[in-house]
Structure 1
Amino acid sequence: MKMMWMAEQEKQEERLKRKMTAMLERSMNTTLTGTGMSYDDLCMHPNLDLPEGFKVPCFELFNGTGNPKAHLRAYCDQLVGVRDNQALIMRLFSRSLTGEVSEWFTAQDIRRWNTWEAMAAAFMERFHFNIKTVPDRYYLEKVQQKSTEKFCEYMSRWRTEAARVQPPMGEEELVSIFIRSQETYFYDRMFSMAGRPFSKLVKMGEATEDGLKTGQIVSMTGKSTGSSSTGFMRKRG
């Protein structure tokens, strides 16, 4: 009789334990939901399942110092084959962010982004200051060779900047502006080459630089009417 009573007591305690556990779980879920800490609150598209066979790429990370548009383009390029799955594209985007950018993303109310375009627009708005102002033709005339770079390096940098000018320039205008951007001893040599192909200016610039280094071309300073001008001449043997 005593054994039957103890068995019944143990069953009641077990039922009470399960009931208390269920109540505690419901209480925790209610608390999490109320504070926005549940899985559904924290996860973007919580019901999303990865497509069968899909492997998450190792994304290039954006830390806030690069070009945000370039990052968006690189990110999309790594998701070939899932372009129509906006939920997946949005869900994985946080994996391409690091540092303070990741902190910014985590602090956002993800429910306000209904589409990938909305998320991308918010990202661009936050980090658009990293994009340089598009140069104009006047700016190009001020892009001169640095004392620490070779002429070929300078030419490459100048062409990169020129390629960003809108509307694009034709070869003749490109040559004209490049000549006007030169220091005096290069300008004097190139002035008569207006209308020639850009590649000819590059060869002239490299030859002039080499001549200055070897001493075959020597710079000279002359004064006239109180002002100074810099020119050069070929060194006679």
Structure 2
Amino acid sequence: MSGYQVYNYHLYNKLEAVIEKMQTTSLESSTKRVESSTKRVVDCRLHYQILDRANLPSDFKLPEMEKFDGSGNPIVHLKVFIRTMALHQIREEAMIVLFPKYLSKSALNWFYHPDVETFTDFESIVKCFVDQFYFNIVADKLSMCSLECTKQNEDEKLIDFFDRWRKQVSLVVNRPDQSKLMKIFRGNMIYEWIFKDKTFSSFSDLISRVIRFENGCHSDNNLAL
């Protein structure tokens, strides 16, 4: 392994560690960092100095990667970006220059906003980026709370409720296993008291049997009241 490869290896490991630390930072301390940040004016000369040091070849091809539009998880985007750069052995100065190439919409507007600092190292990008989009991480946690609070309406067919509920499930990143999800779903049905002592092998089993009950098919012995 060459000296340059060793440097990159340590750089990527350092950045991964910074990201992990940022991920465990509480919302309160993150908010304080944002509030205490002073406004900085972009120094275009510094930007071009970094661009010059990046030393990208004229035939350089941008590695393929999904762009971050400001609505996703910033931690996930940073991890994918760093590992993509590591795969192509791209140096830190080039990473600073290339990072906005993988931003779009509100995220790109944030990066080039005149109140945002000119970044001189990638670690500062990591910290500011996570600070800016920290609430997206909180939204992942709120999705689970929303799921637990999504209940079937009195006049709502079970199949319609299930369709609405599973859309909420898709927003949960660290979702529980199927048995826990079934328990949450059953607790949110209007027929929960009828089926509290019943056993279901899967969601499809649960849905089909409850729909039969809902349609008045009480001949199913498993649904006897």
One-letter amino acid of the structure 2 residue matched with residue 144 of structure 1: K
Match of 2:216 in 1: 217
Q: CA RMSD in A?
A: 4.0
- The alignment status of 1:92 with 2:98, answered yes or no, reads yes
Deviation at 1:124, TM superposition (A): 1.2
Per mean C-alpha deviation after superposition, the further-off stretch among 97-106 and 139-148 is 139-148
Match of 1:153 in 2: 163
- The alignment status of 1:203 with 2:205, answered yes or no, reads yes
Distance 1:153 1:170 in 2: 16
Cα pair 2:74 2:136 within 8 Å, conserved:
yes
Structure 1: state its 5+ residue gaps. 1-34, 219-232
Match of 1:48 in 2: 54
| Change beyond 3 A, Cα 1:59–1:170 | closer
| Change beyond 3 A, Cα 1:163–1:37 | closer
Deviation at 1:57, TM superposition (A): 2.7
Distance 2:95 2:82 in 1: 8
| Change beyond 3 A, Cα 1:179–1:163 | farther
| Change beyond 3 A, Cα 1:122–1:182 | same
| Change beyond 3 A, Cα 1:156–1:83 | farther
**Given the alignment, which residue of 56, 66, 72 partners 2:72?**
66
One-letter amino acid of the structure 1 residue matched with residue 216 of structure 2: I
| Change beyond 3 A, Cα 1:145–1:91 | farther
Deviation at 1:92, TM superposition (A): 0.1
- Aligned structure 1 segments of 4 or more residues deviating by more than 6 angstroms: none
**Given the alignment, which residue of 189, 192, 198 partners 1:193?**
198
Cα pair 1:68 1:123 within 8 Å, conserved:
yes
Alignment: residue pair count: 173
Deviation at 1:134, TM superposition (A): 1.2
Instruction: Indicate the structure whose relative CO is greater, using CA pairs within 8 Å and at least 6 residues apart.
Output: 2
Distance 1:202 1:119 in 2: 46
One-letter amino acid of the structure 2 residue matched with residue 205 of structure 1: I
Distance 2:82 2:135 in 1: 21
Match of 1:180 in 2: 187
- The alignment status of 1:143 with 2:150, answered yes or no, reads yes
Distance 1:62 1:163 in 2: 17
* TM-score, normalization by structure 1: 0.54
**Secondary structure of the residue that 1:104 maps to in structure 2?**
helix
Cα pair 1:36 1:42 within 8 Å, conserved:
no
**Secondary structure of the residue that 2:52 maps to in structure 1?**
coil
Higher helix share: 2
Larger radius of gyration: 1
Distance 1:59 1:170 in 2: 31
Cα pair 2:143 2:171 within 8 Å, conserved:
no
Distance 1:103 1:163 in 2: 26
Alignment of 1:2-13 (within 5 A): none
| Change beyond 3 A, Cα 1:210–1:55 | farther
Cα pair 1:64 1:100 within 8 Å, conserved:
yes
Distance 1:80 1:210 in 2: 55
Identity percentage of aligned residues: 19
**Secondary structure of the residue that 2:54 maps to in structure 1?**
coil
